[in-house]
Amino acid sequence: MKKTQVFIFAIFVSLTWLSGCKTVQQAPVITKTEEEVIAEIPQEQGVTFFEGTLQAGLEKAKTENKLIFVDCYTTWCGPCKTLKQYTFKDANLGDFMKQNYICLAIDMEKPEGITIAKKYGIEAYPTLLFLDKYGRVVNHQVGGIGAEALLAKAEQTVRKSM
């Protein structure tokens, strides 16, 4: 009997307390997936990659008097995906790269990528190559890097190659 009285008392106190509370209308919480956030970034923003081979990129670089930037990646590499999803989407980096580089993204597990990996001694991914218009390495980066640091490295490479 005592348990029943305690239970009824607890319900009474709870209901009394709840009746005194006012409900506040809360704004709905909107959460977006990474893919939705990335999809909202304008396509023209960020690094624009040349669709072609390294040889075609070298020819274009000679014609436009630019350096070459090569993103040496693999499909299974986590830091490679992070570069693609975040670093390469940066507007400031994209603007600078468009003005000074022919940018290529090459899968190192495809035939051309295997040849490039052997030629340049690439053993870890991602590896970012900064090449002159003749295909000689001017600078490089092994591993992931943020947009600001990559921009600084790209600017340093342009100054170094002048």
Cα distance from N-terminal residue to C-terminal residue, the chain: 93
- Three-state DSSP state, 32: coil
How far is it, in rounded angstroms, from Cα 131 to Cα 151? Answer: 15
- Among candidate residues 21, 72, 77, 103, the one labeled active-site is 77
Give the tokens for residue 106. 């090459």
Sheet holding 127-131, edge to edge: 101-107, 67-73, 127-131, 137-142
One-letter amino acid at 17 equals: W
Q: Torsion angle, CA of 31/37/39/45, rounded to 10 degrees?
A: 160
Contacts of 134 (CB under 8 A, 6+ apart): 58
How far is it, in rounded angstroms, from Cα 154 to Cα 92? Answer: 12
Catalytic status, residue 21: no
By annotation, the residues acting in catalysis are 77, 80
